[in-house]
């Protein structure tokens, strides 16, 4: 049996499972089972539907089936000195490209390079009727249906079964340097916002425990000029630092108990330091702030502080999911979510309740 025949057989199996009308928990490598509300339904494993369909390095586009591991994607890109510029977390070697898109999580370079959805050029989705829906394309200039492709990013599989995706990839930078500065939170935010408005090759930033760490990346001349301008001390194991941050193995995350809450706050980069009891780590130039709250700080208090600062707060890991993992939706936005769910998944079988308990 040819590869195409094998893949067609897998698709037929998917359709049979969908036709049963039972709730399905779409799952690849299972590396992010903890993310979102508690998974429900019988597992629909996507890993049999795998493989790189097309990769043209000169076009900077790769297309792969949803069950393809990120390790396989990384290996193919590495041969051509290319990368997924948004640095998605792997959380182990089993992560798949479908799960990456469904979760929509970006790494340290997000503020400089863009989020996962900014690199999704096209996607194929199997809806609640077992139909294959094609959105977008496999080339950067083809933007037909582009918004729908992006819509799937971060949807946690609630709209349908992602079958394949086309992603824009980028060349790796020629040079990089990780610099360290001893500075308090207020000073770090001030510097990051100043630097953000200047033509600097600032690729990533992280502040915690009165230490600001930045990554400069790009042409060698640009990196060297930025070092001379900004100063700081060189961190020799910079690659390890950013990998640990991406995988949440950095010291800030390392000793978190499995049931302890970890909050992720999305704020304007210019927002002042939050006066909340607990430890904080700041990324993306001030736009992403991690909080490990002290004591009995309530979800309502955390979310109120985030809203007051112009943002939102999600319970990223641990804690009591009964408070709702993601920031509550405004009525108009919730209506949009319901309409989309009804359009793509009228029987409500795909990852029910995974984003919001009512959906």
Q: Does domain 256-323 have CATH number 3.30.70?
A: yes
SS3 108: coil
Instruction: Give pLDDT, residue 137.
Output: 67
Instruction: Give pLDDT, residue 208.
Output: 97
Pick from 135-149, 247-261, 323-337: least confident: 135-149
Q: How far is CA 254 from CA 41, 105, 258, 287, in A?
A: 31, 19, 11, 22
Q: Give the confidence band of 109 by pLDDT, cuts at 50, 70, 90.
A: very high
Mean pLDDT for 268-294 is 96
Strand partners, 214: 179, 205
Are 159 and 341 in contact by the 8 Å Cβ rule? The answer is yes
* CATH 3.30.70 domain extents, the chain: 175-246, 256-323
Mean pLDDT for 215-241 is 97
Cα-based angle 333, 335, 338 (whole degrees, multiple of 5): 115
The class level of CATH for 175-246 reads: alpha beta
Mean pLDDT for 309-326 is 96
- CB neighbours (10 Å) of residue 145? 16
Residue 349: name the closest of 30, 16, 35 by CA. 16
Rounded distance between C-alpha atoms, residue 242 and residue 330, angstroms: 35
Residue 326: name the closest of 27, 37, 31 by CA. 37
Rounded distance between C-alpha atoms, residue 249 and residue 343, angstroms: 39
| DSSP element (H, E) containing 166 | strand 161-168
Rounded distance between C-alpha atoms, residue 262 and residue 254, angstroms: 12
Place of tokens 């001390």: 233
Residue 251: name the closest of 223, 191, 214, 292 by CA. 292
Q: Give the confidence band of 140 by pLDDT, cuts at 50, 70, 90.
A: very low
When the pLDDT of each residue in the chain is averaged and rounded to a whole number, the result is 94
Q: How far is CA 236 from CA 34, 166, 177, 245, in A?
A: 33, 35, 9, 16
Examine the pLDDT at 144 and tell me if it is beyond 90. no
Instruction: Give pLDDT, residue 217.
Output: 98
Question: Could you tell me which residue, 75 or 145, shows the higher pLDDT?
Answer: 75
Burial group, residue 186, by CB count within 10 angstroms (0-12, 13-18, 19+): exposed
Rounded distance between C-alpha atoms, residue 17 and residue 11, angstroms: 10
Contacts of 17 (CB under 8 A, 6+ apart): 24, 42, 44
* CATH 3.30.465.10 domain extents, the chain: 3-171
Instruction: Give pLDDT, residue 2.
Output: 86
DSSP tag of 162: E
Examine the pLDDT at 146 and tell me if it is beyond 50. no
Q: Give the confidence band of 3 by pLDDT, cuts at 50, 70, 90.
A: confident
Examine the pLDDT at 100 and tell me if it is beyond 90. yes
Instruction: Give pLDDT, residue 143.
Output: 39
Q: How far is CA 59 from CA 74, 83, 94, 171, 218, in A?
A: 17, 13, 27, 11, 20
Q: Does domain 3-171 have CATH number 2.30.110.10?
A: no
According to DSSP, the β-strands at 61-65 and 120-126 are unpaired
Token pair of 194 as six digits: 């100043």
Token pair of 206 as six digits: 């992280």
Mean pLDDT for 276-281 is 96
């Amino acid at each position: 049996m040819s590869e195409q025949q094998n893949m067609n057989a897998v698709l037929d199996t998917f359709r049979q499972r969908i036709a049963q009308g039972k709730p399905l928990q779409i799952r690849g490598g299972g590396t992010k089972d903890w993310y979102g509300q508690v998974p429900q339904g019988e597992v629909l494993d996507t890993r049999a539907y795998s493989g790189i369909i097309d990769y043209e390095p000169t076009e900077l586009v790769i297309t792969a089936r949803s069950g393809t591991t990120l390790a396989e994607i990384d290996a193919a890109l590495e041969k051509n000195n290319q990368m997924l510029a948004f640095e998605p977390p792997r959380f182990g070697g089993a992560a798949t490209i479908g799960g990456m898109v469904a979760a929509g999580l970006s790494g340290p370079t997000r503020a400089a390079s863009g989020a996962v959805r900014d690199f999704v050029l096209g996607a194929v989705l199997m809806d609640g009727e077992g139909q294959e829906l094609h959105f977008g394309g496999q080339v950067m200039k083809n933007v037909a249906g582009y918004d729908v492709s992006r819509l799937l990013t971060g949807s946690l599989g609630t709209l349908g079964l992602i079958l394949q995706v086309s992603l824009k990839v980028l060349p790796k930078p020629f040079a990089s340097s990780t610099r360290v500065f001893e500075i308090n939170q207020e000073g770090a935010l001030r510097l990051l916002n100043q630097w953000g408005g200047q033509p600097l090759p600032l690729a990533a930033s992280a502040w915690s425990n009165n230490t600001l760490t930045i990554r400069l990346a790009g042409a060698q001349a640009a990196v060297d000029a930025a070092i001379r301008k900004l100063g700081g001390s060189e961190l020799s194991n910079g690659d390890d630092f950013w990998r640990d941050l991406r995988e949440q193995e950095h010291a800030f995350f390392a000793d978190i108990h499995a049931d302890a809450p970890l909050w992720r706050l999305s704020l304007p980069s210019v927002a002042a330091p939050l006066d909340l009891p607990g430890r904080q780590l700041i990324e993306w130039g001030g736009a992403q702030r991690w909080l490990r709250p002290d004591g009995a700080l309530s979800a309502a208090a955390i979310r109120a502080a985030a809203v007051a600062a112009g943002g939102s707060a999600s319970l990223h890991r641990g804690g009591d999911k009964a408070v709702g993992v993601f920031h509550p939706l405004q009525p108009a936005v919730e209506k949009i979510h319901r309409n989309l769910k009804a359009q793509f998944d009228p029987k409500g079988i795909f990852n029910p309740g995974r984003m919001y308990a009512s959906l």
